[in-house]
Structure 1
């Protein structure tokens, strides 16, 4: 009979990034049952194999505290945790099969909601006025953005948000490829968030992405006397089923716009914004010029 060490002292050090993302249960979160089910299954398979939490941890390179926290749904297991545990307890792939769902649970709910919409788009347009659009950000730029948020994020939350943002960029590799357009304010291309080297790498990344056949990046110059985007940043997403939605983000809230009349307003504004901005070719030349000015 296996002895459960949940009451034993927790190890404070683990290997290989073993300390997974803290999980704060949210009963409105659809992934809460997934995380709890994963913990229960790990415990059941461990006990069936006749292993204590300490013995499982030793076998897969994770601390006793980590194994205990995962089984109690207080920590999210890394994919590596699930894969190794699957082999050690002889689960035949049943634990490893949970990798995708548990990995998605790692991301904040509002990010998952947006990523779910982006996974369905055939055409998307985004206008950003104070930083580079999330789908266009380098990891260093994204980390700098989240690092300067106030109140400050914890280290765990910071890494969770960065990972979620980077995961969304799979949209560029999707087949069939969606049509993606972006309009960036000139100010966002000049502001050295994270430092000048981070900005340089970010501009280089924009040039690389902007040359993809299904992507168009445009710049809204500071000298424009007419500007339809003064109401703030926006996104318009056209989905596979033929519907369209908008997505707006403010200081403390994000909102999915589904009312057809409101979506039509956002589409109109975005169309005018694109017409007022530099053309995609002019914009890439403009970004190259800015890149040359960074020393």
Structure 2
């Protein structure tokens, strides 16, 4: 009964993968223990995937693909399984982000997920309420790290991030984690396709007081704007509405410190920790 409830509550792609894996295994005339042995996994690990008790890792999928000679059928699921690691309201944006010509973010509460270290991201997720289970925190942390593939993608995507100063002042996980996070920001800013700017609190009133936003430029050069709050998201695609927010972002950028000044600001902040 517990296994049935677990399977029913699993994301659709996880359920589908489990069903296909079981079908291929049975067609090959293998028990779970026998398939596990071919994959260098235990039979219980195979059972956990087939009953949706645990989602398959990329390594598990590769091993099953080879052991069952699946012709790419299992490996083709990786892209869709990765999407389901994200909250439902964020999955559509992740697809846009990973394919975008450019991604621009204005952050007011937290450092953008693309620029978070693993430890910082974990602390953010541990602070969620209602609280997340340990396995959920780890899965979401890894999913957030997977988004960094955007940095090295070909063709190269341009990433622009404006950090409101409070994002740098918020203490998450203690001084060591924060220092490492600052160091990672400096490292990211050195990339040729990444621009990081800081909007200092000394600016007073500015165009970003209405809240954070993300802009993506799609392959057909359309600008979309994504906003999120308390697990709800809005994707703005109407050209006139998106254009207003794009102009607002440009104003915020003009009010922020320049890229070089921003790196110095972050380095000085690192020295304070």
TM-score when normalising by structure 1 = 0.82
Question: Following TM superposition, by how much is the alpha carbon of 1:271 offset from its aligned partner in structure 2, in angstroms?
Answer: 1.0
The alignment status of 1:200 with 2:185, answered yes or no, reads: no
Which secondary structure state, in structure 1, belongs to the residue aligned with residue 104 of structure 2? strand
Which secondary structure state, in structure 1, belongs to the residue aligned with residue 204 of structure 2? coil
Question: Is the CA contact (8 Å cut-off) linking 2:21 and 2:50 kept in structure 1?
Answer: yes
Runs of at least 5 residues in structure 2 that lack an aligned partner in the other structure: none
CA 1:43/1:251 → structure 2, altered by over 3 Å: closer, same or farther?
A: closer
Pairing of 1:1-80 with structure 2 (within 5 A): 24-25=9-10, 32=12, 34-73=13-52, 75-80=54-59
Question: Following TM superposition, by how much is the alpha carbon of 1:282 offset from its aligned partner in structure 2, in angstroms?
Answer: 0.8
Which structure has greater helix proportion? 2
Structure 2 CA distance for aligned equivalents of residues 60 and 121 of structure 1: 36
Which secondary structure state, in structure 2, belongs to the residue aligned with residue 267 of structure 1? helix
Question: Is the CA contact (8 Å cut-off) linking 2:61 and 2:75 kept in structure 1?
Answer: yes
Question: Following TM superposition, by how much is the alpha carbon of 1:116 offset from its aligned partner in structure 2, in angstroms?
Answer: 0.8
TM-score when normalising by structure 2 = 0.89
Q: Corresponding residue for 2:106?
A: 127
Question: Following TM superposition, by how much is the alpha carbon of 1:174 offset from its aligned partner in structure 2, in angstroms?
Answer: 1.5
Larger Rg: 1
For structure 1, which segment, 198-207 or 36-45, has the greater mean C-alpha deviation from structure 2 after superposition?
Answer: 36-45
Number of aligned residue pairs = 271
Question: Following TM superposition, by how much is the alpha carbon of 1:97 offset from its aligned partner in structure 2, in angstroms?
Answer: 4.2
Q: Corresponding residue for 1:29?
A: none
CA 1:119/1:95 → structure 2, altered by over 3 Å: closer, same or farther?
A: closer
CA 1:148/1:22 → structure 2, altered by over 3 Å: closer, same or farther?
A: farther
Residues 201-248 of structure 1, C-alpha deviations (whole Å, 9 max, x = no match)? 000011011111221111111111231111111111111112111011
Q: Corresponding residue for 1:118?
A: 97
Quick one: which of 74, 88, 98 aligns to 2:67? 88
